[in-house]
Amino acid sequence: MIMMEDIDMKKGVQMFTVRDYMNDIRQVKNTLKKIHEIGYDSIQAATPGFMSHTDFKKMMMDNQLETYSANADFEGMTAQPEALKDAIEQAHIYDVNYIAIGTLPEAMRESVEGYKAFCVQANKVASALKKEGLKLLYHPHALECYSFGGGLKGLDIILEDTDPEGFHFSLDTHWLASGGLDICEWIEKVQGRMELVHFKDYAIVGGAATVETVCRQFVEVGEGNLNWVKIIQVCKDTGVKALAVEQDICPGNAFDSLAKSFENLVKMGV
């Protein structure tokens, strides 16, 4: 394992957290301003539909924010040359190395054959992106932890059958925990294929009617059940360069939650 304790990871925001504050240009400007004022230096987001990639990039720069990836719809890129072209254009305008996709198509999620078919398609897209100096960035959720028995999970197939050079990962701490996987073990498994991690906490909370129906929540980083000291250390040890805080559901104002996560990250040495 390569020790990289002296490297500071960028602290960013996955903009799904503030999706309710991105409905027009005025809101976008205010949202980016608030994220910068909290202390974050980057975001991960798709260009809002009412803005051009160039205008959104300028607005990010005006608020001293970088972005780590462009965003695209995987099925769109596989079916429409124009969608692939637009994703590449967005990446070049953003001056990033990655085009991020969310998850594999629904029809492929619960069979070995489906996962393998996805990998074939993903490798074709990654091959096209490599010609442009880009990589495909995959963000797994809990559904990729689908078990086929014998310890084999969907995520194992994706890791094994995709091109290590063209297909990289952006793991999510909450979804790994939700899927019953060892977070740190998986960060180590994708070493060399992951520069950005989604930091999302996982909390067991009260309110369960029976012992079988345990309640979990999305909470601010450092406020839940995950071992952040260990997670942060393994991220540094494996060369992760950036984190994106993401909280799918916030108890109140999303910016208050982002501020609490940032405060806790600083206390934990990030």
Instruction: Decide: pTM greater than 0.85.
Output: yes
CATH, range 10-267: 3.20.20.150
Q: What is the 3-state secondary structure (H, E, C) of 46-57?
A: CCCCCCCHHHHH
Q: Which residue has the tokens 């540094």?
A: 236
* DSSP one-letter code for 190: T
Place of tokens 């793991």: 171
Q: What is the pLDDT of residue 2?
A: 33
Is 17:247 a contact under the CB 8 Å cutoff? Answer: yes
pLDDT of residue 7: 57
CA dihedral 107, 109, 110, 115 (to 10 degrees): 100
Q: Which residues of the chain have pLDDT under 50?
A: 1-6
Q: What angle, rounded to 10 degrees, do the helices at 154-161 and 112-130 form?
A: 40
Q: What is the largest CA-CA distance in the chain?
A: 54
